Chain A
């Protein structure tokens, strides 16, 4: 028993959070959404949608971004960060489904969209994509598990079908990352004009790519700390350049769109919207400018600060769309109940904990070469470059 007792400060915090989350889950189950949330007819979607789902799916975008970079574009040097990115993505999607079970009024019917179709519904499309893509991520991660178990034959079989799986993963991600933005296209006249634009799907997609890159840098930094590994520094520096460029494209599109629609005038309205809009733009533009400076990119600490700032900017953007921008039309103020916050924090904490466990017990960070690679390497001594599935 004693090995499961919390020892360090953070383990105690984790244990306390999980205990609170268990109590919150009890309230959710027995007292319904009314007892466990501050949602209402006027404000039906809170942070379980705005953070757990919108941000959760976005923050897991590193999986398809890195899979495309390495396996489709064949930029082999990024291979060492593919596995952690795919693991993050897989965990992310599983936790999104967990959050969904809290948010749905009839969670036991979560499979209904697979049977009762409505192809006009964005949510229907998102449901299908997330289901299929979680399966794809499982298959993309499976080689790691098979490698740990030493099942070489199964691994070789899987390798044969990996290319279509990876292409499918990129397409499914493109579809649902953008569709999370399309969800809000129906809110014409409800969502504040600072955020409502026909370009929502495109903006969601580009920012997902950016946040996928940012998360990859973020977790490389953390795992190098946690496991005493060397940071893949040259890789990280290149990723951070790419990140700066993607943010620049995103912000340019955002500014062009705001100008075309004449939406800047909305900034003159007094209220939280304009302030939180400015915060969001600052948390996006400042890290971009920092990352364009060579000085920032040369120092792991300043780079970490810039990347983390951008992650916050991303979260503020999604919450602005889900909460800030919807409040005025709803006519009510929404502040999440403690149960909503605790469940959200517990899901994030569980994500970190499971990632740490997986990194400890599975070959996430070991480079794919070594004894095993020699055994099943390409014939004639040619080293296979970036084979799908590694």
Chain B
């Protein structure tokens, strides 16, 4: 079954061990300055963000039907059966449609490289696909970030909300947003106060482009019939002229 990550803003103390673990996995530099920037980039694939006395995290949401995977003209993004959305850099031609399409503004680009690639959280597919947990989950001392089966972590989220209803905003982010995600969030306050985009469509975003794209074969077939037909009608005159000419 598909795995998922649950982030619980209520349990998070903002220690940033998840950031450090992520940087270590990707062999990226991790300094105080980078930590304080609270901004994802090609140098930092997840970040903790501070909102008054509360914290939130930004990482790839691993949508169930990801916009990045649908828009990529070379299929460089893949939603794996285990849950992670992974990036095949050897295919990428650098059009950056994935950056433009992502509803969570997740993919980062190596803007200063001569031959740049996209960088983003891959939910530690190399571990999660084989039953392991992400580096950030492993690093978290407070179970604010956990990895598990999607059904199970949803159950855990529900239990946490039920157990202390005063501490939690009664909703799970990622259940419905853009058709559902494999990273889920719960917190004390509505999600817009935790830096998450709200008001996203409940449908998967690729449905919106497919609504137009599915007509491509029809346009080809109808167009050929129509153009050929119009040509046949409008060029009758020459046929007649040619026929009459031949009789003379």
Where the two chains meet, the residues of A that have a C-beta atom closer than 8 Å to any C-beta of B are: 29-35, 39-42, 44-45, 68, 71-74, 103-107, 109-110, 112-113, 116-118, 120-127, 163, 167, 170-171, 174-175, 178-179, 181-183, 185-190, 198, 200-201, 326, 330, 378-382, 384-385
Contact = CB atoms under 8 A, between A and B. Distances in A.
B171 to A, nearest CB: 18
A171 B112 contact: no
B78 to A, nearest CB: 10
Nearest to B39: A41
A-B pairs, 3 with minimum CB distance: A105-B94, A34-B111, A380-B245
Contact of A190 (B103, B113, B213, B238): B103
A29 B114 CA distance: 7
Interface in B190-239: 197, 199-201, 205-206, 208-213, 216, 219-220, 223-224, 227-228, 230-231, 234-235, 237-238
B95 A123 contact: yes
Given A33-B109, A44-B100, A174-B223, A185 B116 contact: no
Contact of B101 (A32, A33, A187): A187
Contacts of A29: 114
Contacts of A200: 212
A15 B186 CA distance: 60
B113 A186 contact: no
Contact of B245 (A116, A381, A385): A381
B73 A189 contact: no
Contacts of A167: 223-224, 227-228, 231
Contacts of B40: 41
Interface centre among B71, B211, B228 (most CB of A within 10 A): B71
A198 B72 contact: no
Given A32-B114, A74-B234, A171-B224, A189 B109 contact: no
Nearest to B88: A116
A179 B212 contact: yes
Q: Which of B91, B108, B110 has the most CB of A within 10 A?
A: B91
Interface of B: 40-41, 67, 70-76, 91-97, 99-101, 103, 105, 107-117, 197, 199-201, 205-206, 208-213, 216, 219-220, 223-224, 227-228, 230-231, 234-235, 237-238, 241-242, 245-246, 248
Given A32-B111, A188-B205, A201-B212, A110 B230 contact: no
A107 B115 CA distance: 9
16 contacts: A34-B113, A39-B109, A40-B111, A104-B94, A105-B96, A106-B93, A113-B74, A121-B72, A122-B213, A167-B227, A170-B227, A171-B219, A186-B100, A198-B208, A201-B212, A385-B238
A186 B75 CA distance: 16
Contacts of B206: 120, 186
A120 B213 CA distance: 8
A10 B40 CA distance: 47
Contacts of A68: 227
B236 to A, nearest CB: 9
A259 B199 CA distance: 22
